[in-house]
């Protein structure tokens, strides 16, 4: 078996759907292990057709499996304000957590955190940083669906 001759950019082919998909029961979501994000059930077909190079058999297996599940939509997710344990198979990013009292909102970029503080807390630049860095995860990709959960890990400098 000359496995090393495979180009590194292609995903290794396997005939088992468990290499690609994981059902998270706690949040009722299907996670793509390769892209480390949740895939809404209505996009399962598109996602595994467009984003993956799969054997028809594996894709069919994934679609059959997904069709038996009724997964949550991004809008149905409730994000806990307190710190949570990392969800397996979701990527971890550097984010920011709002330090205003009882807000605890987590956002992925400094710009979005500043905007949030301005709009929701009438923050002004002279107030200084009212947020700290944290490690965060998001279930869905895409601007409308991106909401982060706080993993409570400060970034180590």
**Cα radius of gyration rounded to whole Å, the chain:** 19
CA distances from 142 to 37, 60, 95, 139 (A): 11, 25, 16, 10
* In the complex, least distance from residue 52 CB atom to Zn ion, rounded to whole angstroms: 6
* In the complex, least distance from residue 56 CB atom to Zn ion, rounded to whole angstroms: 17
**Part in contact with Zn ion (CB under 5 A); list of ranges 7-15, 53-61, 90-98, 134-142:** 90-98
Residue 27 touches Zn ion, criterion: CB under 5 A: no
CB 58 within 8 A of CB 12: no
Residue 114 touches Zn ion, criterion: CB under 5 A: no
Q: Where are the beta strands (DSSP E) in the chain?
A: 21-24, 29-32, 37-38, 92-98, 106-107, 131-138, 148-150
Give how many residues touch Zn ion by CB under 5 A: 8
Residue 90 touches Zn ion, criterion: CB under 5 A: no
Residue 31 touches Zn ion, criterion: CB under 5 A: no
Q: Which CB atom, from 123 or from 135, has the smaller least distance to Zn ion?
A: 123
**Part in contact with Zn ion (CB under 5 A); list of ranges 2-10, 49-57, 79-87, 138-146:** 49-57
71 Cβ contact partners less than 8 Å away, ≥ 6 residues apart:
23, 28, 29, 30, 38, 40, 41
86: nearest Cα among 132, 33, 149: 149
Of 30, 31, 32, 62, the one binding Zn ion (CB under 5 A) is 32
CB 132 within 8 A of CB 97: yes
Residue 19 touches Zn ion, criterion: CB under 5 A: no
Residue 89 touches Zn ion, criterion: CB under 5 A: no
List interacting residues with Zn ion (CB under 5 A): 32, 34-35, 51, 98, 100, 103, 105
């Amino acid at each position: 078996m000359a496995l090393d001759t495979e180009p590194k950019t292609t995903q290794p082919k396997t005939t088992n759907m468990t290499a690609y998909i994981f059902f998270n029961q706690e949040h009722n979501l299907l996670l793509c292990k390769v892209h480390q994000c949740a895939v809404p059930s209505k996009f399962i077909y598109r996602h595994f057709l467009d984003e993956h190079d799969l054997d028809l058999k594996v894709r069919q297996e994934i679609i059959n499996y997904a069709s038996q599940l009724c997964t949550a939509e991004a809008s149905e997710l409730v994000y806990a304000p307190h710190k949570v344990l990392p969800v397996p198979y979701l990527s971890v990013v550097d984010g920011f957590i709002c330090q205003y009292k009882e807000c605890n909102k987590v956002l992925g970029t400094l710009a979005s955190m500043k905007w949030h503080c301005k709009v929701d807390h009438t923050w002004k630049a002279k107030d200084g940083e009212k947020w700290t860095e944290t490690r965060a995860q998001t279930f869905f990709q895409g601007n409308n669906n991106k909401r982060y959960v706080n993993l409570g890990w400060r970034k180590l400098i």
